A = this chain, B = another copy of it.
Amino acid sequence: MRISELSRRSGVPSATIKFYLREGLLPAGRATAATQAEYSEAHLRRLRLIRALIGVRGLTVNATREVLNAVCEYEADIHQVLGLVLGARPVGEAVRSDDGPGAPDVNALVAHMGWQISEYAPARRVIAETLESLRSLGADFDWRTLIPYAQLARQTAVLDLDQLRDTDDLVERAERAVLLTVLLEPALLALRRMAQEHESALRHGT
């Protein structure tokens, strides 16, 4: 297909596609004339993944390039690829997240759940900071209080991974993983707020 059709089918403007080509995020098309190139379905899938990483996950162009390179490197390993696109595994410089304040609590939670979690996963730090905040505000809440929440998160993750079963193409699956994980985040919090309102009505409503 020509760049105009690639633009139409991806929803990404031609000027942006040209920028991605110059930046080396998208490989060049097959030249068919001095100023024309032909693009494939593989270009389309890769373009969609680029859009998800930049537009939805908010990565920089450089970080996106690193993720895409690593996706190619781990081509056959969907687990590595998902870890990369979702940020569980670091690209480039690695910062350990399993020490520092609050980290022992997170380690205890992860061990209790029997989870295999990278020591670099930024999620570890987020949970440690939440527990610290609640403690500093005097709330009676520790890692054990998080156990039932973690069990529900586990079930949510099963739903998430089920959503990725429909496609065998690795790049498409990576794109879908980014969309579903990142875009669903505000909706999942909104569902919790609505469910709280309903549960409160059941318990205390008139």
Is the CB–CB distance between B127 and A196 below 8 Å? no
Which one of B48, B195, B200, B205 contacts A156 once the chains associate, using CB atoms below 8 Å? B195
Could you say which residues of chain B place their CB within 8 Å of the CB of A113?
Answer: 198
User: Is A197 a contact of B116 with CB atoms below 8 Å?
Assistant: yes
A198 adjacent to B159 (CB under 8 Å): no
- Say yes or no: is A154 at the interface (Cβ < 8 Å to chain B): yes
**A184, CB-defined interface residue at 8 Å:** yes
Number of A residues, CB within 8 Å of B: 80
Q: Is the CB of A148 within 8 A of B159?
A: yes
A31 to chain B, nearest CB (A): 28
Q: Quick one: CB contact mask for A37-64 with B, threshold 8 Å, 1 for yes? A: 0000000000010011000100000000
Show 20 residue pairs from A and B whose CB-CB distance is below 8 angstroms, ordered by the A residue. A11-B136, A52-B137, A56-B137, A110-B194, A117-B194, A121-B197, A122-B190, A123-B194, A124-B190, A130-B183, A146-B191, A149-B156, A149-B187, A152-B159, A153-B191, A154-B198, A157-B196, A160-B192, A160-B196, A188-B188
